[in-house]
Structure 1
Amino acid sequence: MGRLSALVRLIILSAIIFLAAVMMFKASGSDSAITGEAETITAGYSHLRYLDYRLDSEQPPLGKILAAAPLLLNKISFPINNINWQRDINAKEEVASQFFYEQGNDPDLILRHSRLSSIIAILLLTILLYILSRDLIGKWWALLPSFLVAFSPLALAYGHYATINAWSAITIFAAIVAFLKFLESPSRKKLLLSGLLFGLAQIASFTALILIPYLILILLIFYVWGIRQDWSMTEVGGRTSRFGKRAMRYSNALMGIFFTGLIIIICSYALFTLEYPIEKQQSDTEFVTNNFSPIWIKDGVRKISGIPILRGFGQYTLGVINHYQNYPISWNPNLSVIKTFLLKEPIASLLLLTIAAGLAIWNILKASWSMLRRRSHNLFDYLSTNFSEFAAMVFVGLGLGVAISINSSGGYEQILPTLPFLYLLMTSGVKKWFSGKALDPAKNFVIKIFLVYEEFLQLSLQTTLLGALIVGYGVTTLITYPHFLPFGNLLAGGTKNAHTHLNESDYNRGQDLKRLADWTRLNLADREKIAVDYSDEISLKYYLGDVARPWASSLGSPLEEGIDWLAIPITNRDYVWLDGLEPYDRVGKTILLYRLSD
């Protein structure tokens, strides 16, 4: 039975991974480049091919170079002699447009190949989450958080675009897992691995800076908990020495992790600035930091950007400055992130989260009451058997806290790194809901479904509800395919109407342009024109050619120029003169088509 159970688990996990891979791969071929995607790929290609970091300094290199790596196997032309590349400062939009649409390259081939790395990242995240969950909640229950991540509309959305988000999520998750494994059983190999993964996270996303306070906090809690555990077993005269030495060991380990990460940052940036002319790096740095304060940081970054051995670190620091200029931290909470979560998370997982959160709150209240009455030390008892779960809880709280403190509209993808930990905690809570049941693996409902045991009809109400929610979650994702980015749950009125409640960047990022091109080829007569309101006129011309006329609401009605058709983003509310006119059609989820003549 043990081998059969292992085989069934492997089949289920493989099926989850296979379906997620197919959905992301197919969706990657049907969507146009979203906002910022062409710039990410172009910058990554320039980093790899020319070892030059003049483009897109506000993002670290890992996700970009992994996206661009397959392009090195193709004959790709880069606008290396264009004035935008040679003289302008961070002209990523202009260079990306030239790279994609004006150099004779195939933009669809570039997108397909570049998006493979994000697909791989989400699949690796699913596997790694299963490995961690298996140790914490059991082999069968570990399938649930893996399934939730693999079928998450958010993960599937950014898993099929060439952005840094997927690699940010997997590297942060891996760094935390490695650190917790080191605390569990310290060794030099685990310490080195923790440092390497911490460093990879830092060059994957500036969001990973959250790991610095997080690791310090978790280590401090672990140290205090260890003192509590060993206090009574240590002689009074030896406590200072024992716990002092332990504090020194932990401090040295943490500094080792940070130092290893710093070496990875310095080496990676040194490599990708190798052919970046030092004079241009200095001038670019001066321009970007012109309005930055405090002055001493600005002056320091400018200075080290001119020192050959340190200029790689100077470029990294410039990226951090640039990032937090674009996404400043605010003391006024950005509660739209919570609202967006409630509107974009599938209803099934929200219900699972409600169950888990309700049980957690009830258990916390009971534990607090017991501690107040001095009948137990539940917190320390909990940490002794559930420290990794507690660490996951801390990261979710810290991650969401940072997300709601960023002064930016949209940006829901910033919670992606917290998603695997959130689903792990959710599953742990649901498992405790079943704690009164004798869940022998041989009688688990998953086994019953796949092996058709006779006892299937005897499933409990809890198991039936859980099964229904899992099926509902999966069906929701399959119905949503391939429109994962604009997904909205029933609270948002479904994906069709979610644009009325969401920020534009959480619904429409230009992904339906290729679908519009297909529509025009099938529906427009010869020589018929269509006015299109689209932010990127160069990609519009590439896909639609002379059929499309770039348009804006300020130009009035296209009828005045003899154009019967108008295509506008569904999130654009500037066309007030269209009020009362029913759209002729809807392309994808984000483009409305109007026929203006009778």
Structure 2
Amino acid sequence: MTRNRASILLTLAAVAGFVAWFWCRGEQFLAANGPTFDEPVHLAAGYSYWVTGSFRLNREDPPLLKMLWAAPLVFGEHPPYPYDVARETNNDHWHVGDAFFFHSDRPPRELLAPARRVNLALGVCVVLLTGWWAFRLWNSRLAGIGAAGFAVCDPNLLALSCVLSTDIGLTLFALLACYLVWEYVAAPSRGLLVGAGAALGLALGAKFSALAVVLGLGTAGAVFVLMGGRLALPNTPPDVSRGRALIEFAFRLGLIALVALAATYGFVHFDQWGSGLKFQLTRAAHGDGMMYLNGELSRTGWYHYFLALFPIKLPLGLFTGALLVVLTSRLVRAPRSAFLFVPAVVFFVLASYSRVDLGIRVVLPVLPFLYIVASGLASRACCHTAGGVLLALCLVWAGVSAARSDPHPIAYFNELAGGPRGGLRFVADSNVDWGQGLPALKAYLDAHGPEVIYLSYFGTDRPEAYGIRYQALPAYGRVGAPGGEFIPADAPRHVVVVSANNLLGIYLNDPDTFAWLRARAPTAILGGSLYVFDLTGDAAVVQHVRTISVK
């Protein structure tokens, strides 16, 4: 008994240590990174739901997570809401978000930090749930520690836990729904059924792509039954056919999910979920921008985008661990494992088919399943005594790689890609540059100068908010007319700073606006997203820069 208690305490201490490291790195992220592209909109929208009682702003995303993010402001200092801007712009969420952030009586980062910590807490829940499922799956405390460790050591999970993106909430609720159904098939109970249905409804209230989770769970249920399992409501008579029992279970689960989803809209506004879904299904008609892969631009994307992305964006320690387990374990053959593998595969396939190639965040719900699988190195069913050593090696490999990316994990790429600079050869957008780099730019200018720069910034943050003086170059994302000033032709230094996405021309009217800079070695790369070029002394190039400056 004493030995078992010591083992439990060591396990709890290890997981607590991982969580503490995850949170500390999250705080470093908050201090070092500015608002990403959509964060002003998401926070302003969530705040508007609370103070106006309407869900009209930013309908293309469900309200649940946005309301959670805004709760610290609503129940805290309660900053003013820009009713006048909302009225004048007919609830244009970009203008409302800009006014809420940059025309408030509080600094933008003070508004953002509490909301980001809410999302960071959701990320911690993903870490803990991943570790718990691994413990239950492999019947090994070491596997539970390993899964939590792989989660903590993934810079992608950390980055998306620290920004107001709906992906981490979807990941948590989808993982919870799959886990509870996995537990249910072993010991059916009304509590697990209600919990799984509620989690599924919350996933649908987090992001519209949760429909892929619904399809994945449905497919997993069918596979489970075909493999000889029985998925039925509690107390279903044994003489009821497995097919009929599955249909009855799916109907009850769906009904619970529907009620939970309607609750996220306060029931009376539930019709707006359909309006938002319609918008997402017709995204192309609303003028989506370019997507980038391996040096090519496309408006339609690629089916193989995520297959090309995973090998360079995931920690190689995680990739190696998961591959070893798949090759050596018999877990795949167990009927119950359908709820571990099938939802992840279905989600990945549907995301690939959708060709919304905006970054690894689109397939974030797949990653916790990889953490759980990789933790199987600690299971006797996998690698016996060598498993613990392999698990430790893979975790250390992933952890060292993750630590190198701090405090800018958005731009993380593994050793195969060669870091952010190498990764930009393959992919861009939110994999690298989400508009988060202005604090790093301010720190660089304070240390190295000059006082005024030429700037092409991708994002909705404002350089003026940091005291950055600049002459504007063609860019994307700024709400309203660009600000800035004018650099004299005889200035002692001429430094150009270009966001990674603008350097590649992804969203610019002319994709080749900065083509002449791409082969030039940057003086510095800030936070993986801002490229600094010192052009002092190159009169011809400086003249070209001045020619393309935004007047």
**Length-normalised TM-score, structure 2:** 0.83
With over 3 angstroms needed to count, the CA separation of the structure-2 counterparts of 1:513 and 1:356, relative to structure 1, is: same
Q: Which residue of the partner structure matches residue 261 of structure 1?
A: 257
Q: Which has the larger radius of gyration?
A: 1
The corresponding residue for 1:551 is 473
CA contact (8 A) 1:533 1:568 kept: yes
Q: What CA distance in whole angstroms lies between the structure 1 residues aligned with 2:229 and 2:394?
A: 43
1:482-493 matches, cutoff 5 A: 482-493=407-418
Residue in structure 2 matched with residue 523 of structure 1 by the alignment: 448
Match of residue 310, structure 2, among 326, 332, 341 = 341
Counterpart code for 2:272 = Q
> Which of the pair is proportionally richer in helix?
1
Write out aligned runs for 1:148-547 (5 A). 148-226=150-228, 242-244=238-240, 247-270=243-266, 312-326=269-283, 334-359=303-328, 382-383=334-335, 387=336, 389-428=337-376, 431=379, 434-435=382-383, 437=384, 439=385, 463-524=388-449, 528-536=451-459, 539-544=462-467, 547=469
CA shift in 2, pair 1:31/1:538, >3 Å: closer
Structure-1-length-normalised TM-score: 0.77
Q: Deviations over 1:101-153 (max 9, x none)?
A: 12333101111111011110111111112222111112222211111112211
Q: Does the 8 Å CA contact 2:89/2:95 hold for their aligned counterparts?
A: no
Deviates more, 1:153-162 or 1:410-419: 410-419
1:54, 1:89 within 8 Å by CA — same for their partners in 2? no
Give the distance between the partners of 1:318 and 1:340, measured in 2 at CA. Answer: 32
**Contact 1:480/1:487, CA 8 A, preserved across alignment:** yes
Query: Which residue of the partner structure matches residue 281 of structure 1?
Result: none
Amino acid in the other structure paired with 1:418:
V
**CA displacement, residues 424-460 of structure 1 (integer Å, 9 cap, x when unaligned):** 123336636754x3x5xxxxxxxxxxxxxxxxxxxx5
Aligned to 1:119: 120
The amino acid of 1:335's aligned partner reads H
Q: Is 1:568 the equivalent of 2:498?
A: yes
Quote the offset at 1:356 in angstroms.
2.4
Q: SS of the residue aligned with 1:5?
A: helix
User: Where does residue 280 of structure 1 map in the other structure?
Assistant: none
1:558–1:565: 8 Å Cα contact kept in structure 2?
no
Report the CA distance shift for 1:222/1:463 in structure 2 as closer, same or farther (over 3 A): closer
Give the direction of change, closer, same or farther, for the CA distance of 1:163–1:578 in structure 2 (3 Å limit): closer
Instruction: From the superposition, tell whether residues 463 and 150 of structure 1 become closer, same or farther in structure 2 (CA, over 3 Å).
Output: closer
1:537/1:413 Cα in 2 relative to 1: closer, same or farther (>3 Å)?
closer
SS at 2:471 equivalent: strand
RMSD: 3.1
Structure 2 CA distance for partners of 1:558 and 1:505, relative to 1, 3 Å: farther
Q: How many residues align?
A: 499
Distance in 1 (alpha carbons) for counterparts of 2:212 and 2:437? 34
The DSSP-based 3-state class of the residue aligned with 2:436 is coil
Q: Which has the higher mean CA deviation after the structures are superposed, 44-53 or 561-570?
A: 561-570
Measured at CA, do residues 155 and 87 of structure 1 come closer, stay the same or move farther in structure 2, by a change above 3 Å?
same
Residues 71-118 of structure 1 deviation map (CA, whole Å, 9 limit, x = unaligned) = 111241211122xx1254551111111111123331011111110111
SS in 2 for 1:583: coil
**Alpha carbons of structure 1 residues 327 and 254: separation in structure 2 relative to 1, 3 Å:** farther
Q: 2:53 aligns with which of 48, 51, 54?
A: 51
The yes-or-no answer on 1:80 pairing with 2:83 is yes
For residues 538 and 227 of structure 1, the distance between their equivalents in structure 2, rounded to whole angstroms, comes to: 53
2:453–2:495 CA contact under 8 A, matched in 1: yes
SS for the counterpart of 1:530 is strand
What does the per-residue CA deviation read over 1:165-205, in whole Å, with 9 as the maximum and x for residues that have no partner? 11111011111112222222222222222221121111011
Deviation at 1:502, TM superposition (A): 1.4
- Indicate conservation of the 8 Å contact 1:23/1:482, yes or no: yes
> Counterparts of 1:324 and 1:139 in 2: how far apart (Å)?
43
Distance 1:428 1:578, change over 3 A: closer
Q: Which amino acid aligns with 1:106?
A: P
1:268 and 1:537, CA in 2 relative to 1: closer, same or farther beyond 3 A? closer
Q: What's the CA shift for 1:249? A: 4.4
2:220 and 2:338 in contact (8 A); partners too: no
Report if aligned partners of 2:40, 2:101 keep a CA contact under 8 Å in 1: yes
Structure 2: 5+ residue stretches without partners: 232-236, 286-298, 477-481, 505-512, 538-551
Q: CA deviation at 1:566?
A: 1.8
* Contact 2:131 2:372 (8 Å CA) reproduced: no
Quick one: distance in 2 between partners of 1:470 and 1:426? 10
Give, in whole Å, the separation in 2 of the partners of 1:45 and 1:252. 39
Amino acid at match of 2:274: T
The answer to whether the 8 A contact 1:327-1:406 is kept is no
- CA gap of 1:191–1:159, structure 2 versus 1, over 3 A, is same
Deviates more, 1:130-139 or 1:179-188: 179-188
For the structure 1 residues 501 and 223, does the alpha-carbon distance in structure 2 shift closer, same or farther, using more than 3 Å as the test?
closer
What is the CA–CA distance in structure 2 between the aligned matches of 1:147 and 1:327, rounded to whole Å? 39
Give the Cα–Cα distance (whole angstroms) in 2 for the partners of residues 332 and 584 of structure 1. Answer: 32
- Which stretch of structure 1 is more off in the superposition, 47-56 or 91-100? 47-56
**Superimposed CA distance per residue, residues 521-565 of structure 1 (whole angstroms, 9 cap, x where no aligned partner):** 34336xx421211135761222235x222222899x966485722
- C-alpha contact (below 8 Å) 1:396/1:418 kept by paired residues: yes
Deviation readout 1:205-233 (Å, 9 max, x if unpaired) = 1121123223332333344445799xxxx
The structure-2 alpha-carbon separation of the partners of 1:407 and 1:10, relative to structure 1 and needing over 3 Å to count, comes to same
Change in CA separation of 1:224 and 1:111 when aligned onto 2, cut-off 3 Å: same
SS at match of 2:416: helix
Q: Flag the 1:579–1:141 CA change in 2: closer, same or farther, 3 A.
A: closer
Kindly indicate whether residue 536 of structure 2 is the aligned counterpart of residue 597 of structure 1: yes
- Code of the aligned partner of 1:338: L
Query: Following the alignment from structure 2 to structure 1, what is the Cα–Cα distance between the partners of residues 518 and 488?
Result: 16
Superposition deviation, residue 570 in structure 1? 3.4
| Residues in 1 aligned to 2:424 and 2:381: alpha-carbon distance in whole angstroms | 36
- Residue among 2, 5, 18 paired with 1:3: 5
User: Which stretch shows the higher mean deviation, 242-251 or 583-592?
Assistant: 242-251
Whichever residue aligns with residue 328 of structure 2, its letter is L
Q: Which residue of 1 aligns with 2:543?
A: none
Q: Which residue of 1 aligns with 2:291?
A: none
Once the two structures are TM-superposed, the CA of residue 592 in structure 1 deviates from its matched residue by 1.9
Q: Which letter does structure 2 place at the counterpart of 1:523? A: H
Tell me the percent identity.
19
List runs of 5+ in structure 1 lacking aligned partners.
230-240, 272-308, 365-377, 440-459
Alpha-carbon offset, residue 476 of structure 1? 1.1
